[in-house]
Structure 1
């Protein structure tokens, strides 16, 4: 083992150690002395220390509740309380929404919306009803499960969250198949709710299938009554009539025959609903469809049915609409006189009701028919009415249309007189044509002014010859004597 060396001694005899050299030069001014704490600050610090000691120590769970998100803590509570199915459904909904948001991209409207995981009120609502539904499921109480899910569907429907409301309406329908003892009433409600949701999404054929199932259950239990007093059967007929009308109108341009079949179904269910107004409207649409495919007689049958309904319900607007449709149908069949009769009735009804738009339309249609028949005086009269009414309404499109038609009818009206004046070729006729080119006024029916009879000039007295000078008289007398 090596021996320990003795310490090195300095020349002065003391042990050599490490000493910090003193700073050189003046102080830099960067270092500041510690701030002196006054009495007031000491009292504040003392009070803070006392309050800190009075606060209880947080547990691990309490600490995590502050550190984690609201959604995370809510899911933990559901799991700790044993609601595993509720947690799974909520977690799946949140995940599905996030996936859809990512799929739509940053430019989509969904990207700017608040996600479900950040909406605390909705999360609390979901937790409450999902856990209640899970408890009811454990007790095999499917009716309570249905009602809790239905509450969630209605809640999200009221907030405008269609995605979640549709989800819970579908789960209500799934749950209703397990409910026994109500005769299928809740199942009928489920079919209606899902059908209405599909209709709002534009899935009309799928909606019609659900409304058909709703109808099948309702027709077997005509005693079922809704809160508004209508039976389930009537409500099912109304919904089927509406959805088949929508389908028929959408197929009108592509396939008129199939469109007609759907409109027939709509009319059938409207009649079955015992709603006179709905039946009349369905008859009107069906009549127009028949008229478009050339079956005028069948069209008139349904259109007259609609007119009778409007007369019974004293619907002046409907009467005018029915008269207009019937007039058009007669016009297509070449029965113009009957068409004029119904248009005259259309004018009368709209004048009584004060419905200016309908009156303008009626006058316009009458003007067209009279113009086609060569009855230009009447055509001009009705086009003038239509034009003036359009001006009073400020309807620019109608103003332009009726202005042109009024001008055409005026031209037709003047054409005969113009042609007659050209054929005459007399001076007065040509003078009137020149005046017409300047003023464009219809004066062709005015009689020509009678020609002025020129009086013969009065006979003038014989002129006296001026006396000749004396020299001329002498010369003339000499000439006479010489002769």
Structure 2
């Protein structure tokens, strides 16, 4: 979105005079003080500036917002005044609603923001003049400038209002081949996406994508509109697919992600194509289609290798390991997870180290290799301490504790089964101290299961 420079404008007479008494006080001024200030101004004007017109006196007495409105009406911008007045009413209504919900609300009164009022006056009146002459492209540019100016969390509803106005005006522009219409479709898609209405957003993005196909149009930052349309559409499709997967509607989720994958290939962007393959592979995995999931994820691996993108490669290996684990092919899954740990360590991705180490610990724990499971859980635990993520630390503690308990249980069972004097002494010593079990007096190692020793 464009960041506009400070506005250099020629203000009307009332506005210029009123501007001299700004900035406005952000606090509520007591009525007695207002009356005193009015009397002081009257006296000052009477003494110093005899002969001032009523309009000039009013410029000092009235609020800046009122002077802006008066200037609009006096100069014949009735349509601009109507739109501004409607926006000001909504502004006040939103402030009152926020005041009811919370004592602390952020939205300041419009009277205290003269720069915003200046922008309203400047661009709305210019748009109205252009509309009278049927210069619809100039109308669009002025309304879009207002949308850019109000693109902040506090005033997003104002931005959305001008996005809708731009969309309406763009339908009347016939001289640019449809570029402004395409841009406005993208803005409308964003409006609905931010509001959580993903189906409506997808419709606008699809129309945006269709209009930009085969075009070399660029936005104000130099980005191709077609690429922007593909990115927006893929993002929306993925969010829709996530909702479908949550509802276990796997067929529809896979269908929409296949569509996303085709759009990514059309965009000729390998990174985008890889992202689409990744989410499609996970959808096939969720649906239990392991063979298809593995094929799609291997294509993601190839794309990540071509791009020399280690982080994407690590993510691909982790997803493949999940598929292999679901198929019961634990040996291959372990190989991929060990690659993930290595890549994550080389790129200082601590969270990925924790995830892969925990998966390895779970696999070894289920196979009965408790010593190895404890090693990987300890590795995950040591890494979580660096992240200072308490919920994650607590979760890893539980995994680590279970694996250590299993490891100790096997050793104790082996001592019990041995039923000799040395084993009995070790058990008694352990009962007294409740620390780690003493090493096997024969091998010098803690006794473990037969399968683990093998």
Q: Compute the TM-score of the two structures, normalised by the length of structure 1.
A: 0.74
Q: What is the aligned partner in structure 1 of residue 419 from structure 2? A: 425
User: How far apart, in 1, do the equivalents of 2:107 and 2:242 lie?
Assistant: 35
Q: 1:240 aligns with which of 233, 240, 247?
A: 233
Query: Cα deviations across residues 416-436 of structure 1 (Å, max 9, x unaligned)?
Result: 443343234343432332233
Q: What is the aligned partner in structure 2 of residue 334 from structure 1? A: 328
User: How far apart, in 2, do the equivalents of 1:170 and 1:110 lie?
Assistant: 30
Contact 1:428–1:448 (CA<8 Å) still a contact in 2?
no
User: How far apart, in 2, do the equivalents of 1:94 and 1:52 lie?
Assistant: 34
User: How far apart, in 2, do the equivalents of 1:122 and 1:68 lie?
Assistant: 18
Structure 1 position 66 matched with structure 2 position 60: yes
Structure 1 position 156 matched with structure 2 position 114: no
Query: Cα deviations across residues 305-325 of structure 1 (Å, max 9, x unaligned)?
Result: 222222222222222222222
User: How far apart, in 1, do the equivalents of 2:110 and 2:397 lie?
Assistant: 58
Structure 1 position 294 matched with structure 2 position 298: no
Q: What is the aligned partner in structure 2 of residue 13 from structure 1? A: none
Q: What is the aligned partner in structure 2 of residue 360 from structure 1? A: 354
Q: 2:245 aligns with which of 233, 252, 257?
A: 252
Q: How does 1:119-138 map to 2 (within 5 A)?
A: 119-138=113-132
Q: What is the aligned partner in structure 1 of residue 441 from structure 2? A: 446
1:252 match: secondary structure: helix
Give, in angstroms, the shift of residue 341 of structure 1. Answer: 1.8
User: How far apart, in 2, do the equivalents of 1:400 and 1:61 lie?
Assistant: 71
User: How far apart, in 1, do the equivalents of 2:103 and 2:273 lie?
Assistant: 41
User: How far apart, in 1, do the equivalents of 2:423 and 2:390 lie?
Assistant: 39
User: How far apart, in 1, do the equivalents of 2:392 and 2:89 lie?
Assistant: 55
Identify unmatched segments of 5+ residues in structure 1.
1-48, 450-483
Query: Cα deviations across residues 34-66 of structure 1 (Å, max 9, x unaligned)?
Result: xxxxxxxxxxxxxxx9x9777432333333333
User: How far apart, in 2, do the equivalents of 1:426 and 1:68 lie?
Assistant: 101
Query: Cα deviations across residues 135-168 of structure 1 (Å, max 9, x unaligned)?
Result: 2122121111111111122122268521221111
Structure 1 position 316 matched with structure 2 position 306: no
Give, in angstroms, the shift of residue 205 of structure 1. Answer: 2.4
2:150 match: secondary structure: helix
Contact 1:245–1:263 (CA<8 Å) still a contact in 2?
yes
RMSD: 3.0
Structure 1 position 408 matched with structure 2 position 396: no
Q: What is the aligned partner in structure 1 of residue 197 from structure 2? A: 203
User: How far apart, in 2, do the equivalents of 1:400 and 1:70 lie?
Assistant: 58
Q: How does 1:145-294 map to 2 (within 5 A)?
A: 145-157=139-151, 160-219=154-213, 221-257=214-250, 258-294=252-288
Contact 1:248–1:259 (CA<8 Å) still a contact in 2?
yes
Contact 2:107–2:154 (CA<8 Å) still a contact in 1?
no
User: How far apart, in 2, do the equivalents of 1:335 and 1:54 lie?
Assistant: 94
Identify unmatched segments of 5+ residues in structure 2.
1-42, 445-454
Name the one with the larger helix percent.
Answer: 2
Q: What is the aligned partner in structure 1 of residue 451 from structure 2? A: none
Contact 1:417–1:444 (CA<8 Å) still a contact in 2?
no
Moved more, 263-272 or 299-308: 263-272
User: How far apart, in 2, do the equivalents of 1:95 and 1:402 lie?
Assistant: 54
1:405 match: secondary structure: helix
1:299 match: secondary structure: helix
Query: Cα deviations across residues 284-339 of structure 1 (Å, max 9, x unaligned)?
Result: 12211221121111111222222222222222222222222211211111111221
1:161 match: secondary structure: helix
User: How far apart, in 2, do the equivalents of 1:211 and 1:368 lie?
Assistant: 42
User: How far apart, in 1, do the equivalents of 2:170 and 2:316 lie?
Assistant: 45
Distance change in 2, residues 1:163/1:437 (3 Å): same
Query: Cα deviations across residues 231-289 of structure 1 (Å, max 9, x unaligned)?
Result: 22222111101111122223432243333333333333223222211221221122112
Query: Cα deviations across residues 145-201 of structure 1 (Å, max 9, x unaligned)?
Result: 111111122122268521221111211111111111111111111111222233223
User: How far apart, in 2, do the equivalents of 1:108 and 1:416 lie?
Assistant: 59
Query: Between Structure 1 and Structure 2, whose CA radius of gyration is higher?
Result: 1
Give, in angstroms, the shift of residue 214 of structure 1. Answer: 1.0
Contact 1:271–1:279 (CA<8 Å) still a contact in 2?
yes
User: How far apart, in 1, do the equivalents of 2:339 and 2:46 lie?
Assistant: 91
Contact 1:414–1:444 (CA<8 Å) still a contact in 2?
no
Query: Cα deviations across residues 401-425 of structure 1 (Å, max 9, x unaligned)?
Result: 4444344334433444433432343
User: How far apart, in 2, do the equivalents of 1:333 and 1:63 lie?
Assistant: 84
Q: Compute the TM-score of the two structures, normalised by the length of structure 2.
A: 0.78
Contact 1:146–1:172 (CA<8 Å) still a contact in 2?
yes
Distance change in 2, residues 1:245/1:57 (3 Å): same
User: How far apart, in 2, do the equivalents of 1:199 and 1:62 lie?
Assistant: 48
Q: What is the aligned partner in structure 1 of residue 379 from structure 2? A: 385
